[in-house]
C-alpha cells in the first residue's frame, strides 16, 4: 500500500483546453480555474501526475519532441502557481489497441503508483472521457468526470464516476468533500 494520496489527471480537456492532437506547444491554453483547483487539492495534501493517451504519435500527427516540450511548458506554468507534477505519463498507442498503458486500462496509473509510492485506494483519476473514469476504477481509484468535451461514451460494465461536473474547480470542491 502506497503512502501518498494522489490525483492523476488526463491532459487534454482536463488540465489544458483540448485542441485535438496538439502538436504545437504555442497553442496550449488553460481552462478557467485550473490553477486554483490544483492549489486547493495541493493544500489538502494531494500529489499530482498526468496520464494521457497520445494516439497522435503513431498516427504521425504529434511529434514526440513537441509532446515533451508541451509537458515541459505545462509543468513550468503550473510551477509558477506553486503546483508540481510528479510525472507525465503518455501512451503512444492507437485507439484500437488494448495496450495495458492505454486508458481505459490502468497501466499508466499503476506505473505512477509504483514509481511514486501512491496509495491508489485514496487517490482520484480526473478526466473528460469515460475511458479516464474507467482507468481510475480499474486502478482502484475514485474517478471524476469533467463534462468539458461532451464525450460520455460509456461501455457495458463500466462504473459511473463518483463526481461529475463541468469545471475542474467544481470537481476539486466535490472531491474534497468526498475524501
Q: Which residues are designated catalytic?
A: 10, 12
What is the spatial distance between Cα 170 and Cα 168, in angstroms, rounded to a whole number? 5
Helix (H) or strand (E) holding 52: strand 47-53
What is the spatial distance between Cα 97 and Cα 178, in angstroms, rounded to a whole number? 34
Closest CA to 125 of 90, 175, 167: 175
What is the spatial distance between Cα 113 and Cα 116, in angstroms, rounded to a whole number? 5
Contact 92, 58 (CB under 8 A): yes
Question: Would you state the cell numbers that stand for residue 75, as one nine-digit string?
Answer: 509543468
Output phi, psi for 38, to 5 deg: -70, -30
What is the spatial distance between Cα 16 and Cα 30, in angstroms, rounded to a whole number? 5
Q: Cell 480499474 maps to which residue?
A: 138
Helix (H) or strand (E) holding 26: none
Amino acid at each position: 500500500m502506497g503512502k501518498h494520496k494522489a490525483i492523476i489527471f488526463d491532459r487534454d480537456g482536463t488540465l489544458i483546453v483540448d485542441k485535438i492532437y496538439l502538436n504545437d506547444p504555442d497553442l496550449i491554453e488553460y481552462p478557467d480555474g485550473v490553477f486554483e483547483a490544483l492549489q486547493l487539492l495541493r493544500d489538502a495534501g494531494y500529489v499530482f501526475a498526468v496520464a494521457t493517451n497520445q494516439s497522435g504519435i503513431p498516427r504521425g500527427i504529434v511529434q514526440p519532441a513537441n509532446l515533451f516540450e508541451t509537458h515541459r511548458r505545462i509543468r513550468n506554468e503550473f510551477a509558477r502557481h506553486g503546483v508540481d507534477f510528479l510525472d507525465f505519463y503518455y501512451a503512444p498507442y492507437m485507439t484500437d489497441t488494448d495496450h495495458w498503458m492505454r486508458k481505459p486500462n490502468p497501466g499508466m496509473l499503476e506505473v505512477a503508483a509504483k514509481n511514486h509510492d501512491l496509495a491508489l485506494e485514496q487517490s482520484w483519476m480526473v478526466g473528460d472521457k469515460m475511458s479516464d473514469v474507467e482507468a481510475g476504477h480499474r486502478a482502484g481509484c475514485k474517478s471524476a468526470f469533467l463534462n468539458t468535451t461532451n464525450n460520455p461514451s460509456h461501455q457495458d460494465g463500466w462504473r459511473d464516476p463518483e463526481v461529475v461536473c463541468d469545471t475542474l474547480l467544481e470537481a476539486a470542491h466535490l472531491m474534497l468533500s468526498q475524501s
